[in-house]
Amino acid sequence: MSDPFNFPQQDLLRHAHLISDAVDRLCRSGQLILGEGVRQFEVAFATWLGAGTQPRQVIGVANGTDALELALRAAGVGPGDRVLLPSHTAYATAAAILRLEACPVFVDLEPGRPVLSATHLDQLLSGSETSPGQGPFRAAIAVHLYGEACDLVPLLAVCERHGIALIEDCAQACGTLYRQRAVGTWGHFAAFSFYPTKNLAACGDGGALVVNRPDRIEAARRSRFYGWDDDRRAVQFGVNSRLDELQAWVLLGKLASLGEQIEQRRQVADWYAGQLGACLLRLPGDGADWRHSYHLYVVRLDPSERERVLVEGKRRGLPLALHYALGCHQTPYLIERFGPQPPLPETERRLAEILTLPLHPYLDLASVCSVAEPLRDLLAEAGAAPWAAPVSSQQVA
């Protein structure tokens, strides 16, 4: 029997016909690289994201980390330049910066939310001068973590005031809305991942670079294929990062039901809220001007109880996890390479509070209860006083 908490397996079972159809298309067309599947998916995904306020293009690439790297290159980031980002993110965000030999500079979070603080970003940009051996600030990466939206209007204002690019990392936020518009359409560039656990999931690796600056579209498109022009002449720097034709056909087929799947994720989140609303937890939810897509369901609890609940829950067979145990500024490699990092109080507070519960569109109410009920028991065993965690004005408790 399949594991109900294994989303990639459930998704493969649900969409097996799309994989068969994709293989059949490849066999009949003979197009294996950058064919009709990639072209159609790029157009369809751009349409799905919506028109926004300016021309944009979607460029299919091999994975989400490549999409971030190519976004940084399109923004003019080079060796020694500095890029601002949150520390509380998947390490892939930092890895994309390191591939350019650029320097990551970590920004603290908004109080009560796992997203980049526009206030701290502005402070870093306003108070920093280029030191010997350090390049200028070139870009900031706004990571829409878990499916929560960054507050993009103030972030854009800060970036434009300081003359740097804003790049949206949408790897965990396909389907998240900010001010009734899709994330990925606000910044100068955006990166999406279609890794098998994502909201829009390939049956392998895949990603997309979104270019919202018309003057950078052609150069960005060439950058995924050696920097070649239409005559296969290298006219700029480029890499080999092409969305696979088979993955493109699968993603195109899945796009038709993506809205429905995100609504089912929201239903699962509602079931959790009904089961856990009376517990000493902070639960995720929509903000005043953004709508959650629930890539992950991350709750917060008293740090003094978090480790006990995690260890004892796993001993009892509960599928609990941490996203993420360390901030990027705490990882051994970055400390070794760049030295000890300045403290990030909001980030470090959140890292001690978080706990991830399983969520995907194929869970039913019984599966949610099989996690929520023993978790309620674990929390009740603590007998702790109510926990007064800081909550932002946008967060739903």
Q: Name the 3-class secondary structure at 116.
A: strand
- State the Cα–Cα distance between residues 260 and 391, nearest whole angstrom: 30
Tokens (6 digits) for 311: 């260890």
Q: At residue 176, what is the residue type?
A: T
Q: Which residue has the tokens 């932002």?
A: 392
What CATH number should be reported for the domain holding residue 277?
Answer: 3.90.1150.10
- Answer yes or no: is 118 within a domain: yes
Q: Single out the residue of 201, 82, 70 nearest to residue 140, CA to CA.
A: 82
**Average pLDDT value for residue range 381-394:** 52
Q: Are residues 196 and 53 in the same domain?
A: yes
Q: Single out the residue of 224, 114, 95 nearest to residue 176, CA to CA.
A: 114
Q: Among 238, 255, 272, where does a domain finish?
A: 255
- Answer yes or no: is 39 within a domain: yes
Q: Are residues 213 and 337 in the same domain?
A: no
- The conformation of residue 216, written as its DSSP 8-state character, comes to G
Q: 176 Cβ partners below 8 Å, 6+ apart?
A: 144, 147, 148, 149, 170, 182, 183, 290, 291, 292, 293
User: 307-321, 330-344, 382-396: lowest mean pLDDT where?
Assistant: 382-396
State residue 394's pLDDT score.
Answer: 43
State residue 134's pLDDT score.
Answer: 81
The answer, yes or no, to whether the previous bond of 324 is cis (omega within 30 of 0) is yes
- Answer yes or no: is 41 within a domain: yes
Per the DSSP assignment, residues forming a β-bridge with 215 are none
Q: Are residues 164 and 16 in the same domain?
A: yes
Q: At residue 259, what is the residue type?
A: G
- Answer yes or no: is 193 within a domain: yes
Q: Are residues 111 and 238 in the same domain?
A: yes
Q: What's the pLDDT tens digit per position in 138-160? A: 999 999 999 999 999 999 999 99
State residue 145's pLDDT score.
Answer: 98
Residue 28 has pLDDT above 70, yes or no: yes
What CATH number should be reported for the domain holding residue 138?
Answer: 3.40.640.10
Q: Are residues 17 and 33 in the same domain?
A: yes
**Average pLDDT value for residue range 41-56:** 82
For residue 280, the enclosing domain spans 258-382
Q: Among 255, 289, 320, where does a domain finish?
A: 255
State residue 156's pLDDT score.
Answer: 98
State residue 159's pLDDT score.
Answer: 98
The answer, yes or no, to whether the previous bond of 178 is cis (omega within 30 of 0) is no
- Answer yes or no: is 393 within a domain: no
Q: Are residues 272 and 376 in the same domain?
A: yes
Q: Are residues 108 and 172 in the same domain?
A: yes
State residue 381's pLDDT score.
Answer: 86
Q: At residue 34, what is the residue type?
A: L
Question: For residue 145, what are the CA distances in angstroms to 183, 335, 391?
Answer: 12, 23, 17
Terminal-residue alpha carbon distance, the chain? 36
Q: Are residues 176 and 193 in the same domain?
A: yes
Tokens (6 digits) for 236: 């700029």
- State the Cα–Cα distance between residues 79 and 100, nearest whole angstrom: 6
**Average pLDDT value for residue range 223-250:** 96
- Answer yes or no: is 389 within a domain: no
- Answer yes or no: is 350 within a domain: yes
Q: Single out the residue of 178, 170, 86, 145 nearest to residue 297, CA to CA.
A: 145
- Name the pLDDT band for 162 (thresholds 50, 70, 90): very high
**Average pLDDT value for residue range 44-70:** 88
Three-point CA angle 27, 28, 33, nearest 5°: 60
Question: For residue 346, what are the CA distances in angstroms to 108, 240, 297, 351?
Answer: 6, 38, 20, 9
Tokens (6 digits) for 39: 């072209």
Per the DSSP assignment, residues forming a β-bridge with 191 are 169, 209
Residue 390 has pLDDT above 90, yes or no: no
- Number of structural domains found in the chain: 2
Three-point CA angle 91, 149, 87, nearest 5°: 25
Residue 391 has pLDDT above 50, yes or no: no
State residue 393's pLDDT score.
Answer: 36
Angle of the 64-74 helix axis to the 91-99 helix axis, nearest 10: 50
Q: Are residues 362 and 221 in the same domain?
A: no
Percent above pLDDT 90 for the chain = 90
Q: Are residues 243 and 352 in the same domain?
A: no
Q: Are residues 244 and 266 in the same domain?
A: no
Could you tell me if 375 and 313 are in contact, meaning their C-beta atoms sit under 8 angstroms apart? yes
Q: Among 255, 290, 310, where does a domain finish?
A: 255
- Answer yes or no: is 280 within a domain: yes
Q: Are residues 240 and 155 in the same domain?
A: yes
